[in-house]
């Protein structure tokens, strides 16, 4: 029997990706989201893909925040 990942953990990870509104990997995200929404457990391979998306989402969020800070600093009057 292949290793599967529970839907509760998968939903938490999916929420991180969804919150970031990261444009990359939309197709993979939708496939995983569909499976999770149906209440199916992820395989170990699918879980790995989800973890990679979470990492990308976290990096994306950091870049967005950094960009927002830089824009404010550049537009501040001196």
At 42 the three-state DSSP class reads strand
> In this model, does residue 75 exceed pLDDT 70?
no
What integer is the mean pLDDT of 58-71? 86
Q: Which pLDDT score, from 0 to 100, does residue 78 have?
A: 53
Q: Which pLDDT score, from 0 to 100, does residue 1 have?
A: 44
DSSP 8-state assignment for residue 16: H
What percent of the chain has pLDDT above 90?
35
Q: Which pLDDT score, from 0 to 100, does residue 74 have?
A: 62
- Using one digit for the tens of pLDDT, what is the confidence trace for 31-55? 999 999 999 988 999 999 999 999 9
Alpha helices in 1-78 (DSSP H): 7-20, 26-37, 44-75
Do 59 and 52 meet the contact criterion of CB atoms below 8 Å apart? no
**pTM beyond cutoff 0.85:** no
Extents of the domains making up the chain: 4-75
74 backbone dihedrals φ, ψ, rounded to 5°: -75, -25
């Amino acid at each position: 029997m292949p290793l599967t990942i529970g839907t509760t953990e998968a939903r938490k990870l999916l929420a991180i990706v969804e919150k970031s509104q990261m444009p990359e990997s939309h197709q993979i995200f939708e496939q995983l989201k569909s499976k999770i929404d149906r209440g199916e457990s992820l395989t170990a391979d699918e879980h790995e893909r989800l973890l990679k998306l979470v990492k990308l989402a976290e990096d994306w969020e950091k870049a967005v925040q950094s960009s927002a800070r830089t824009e404010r600093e550049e537009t501040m009057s001196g």
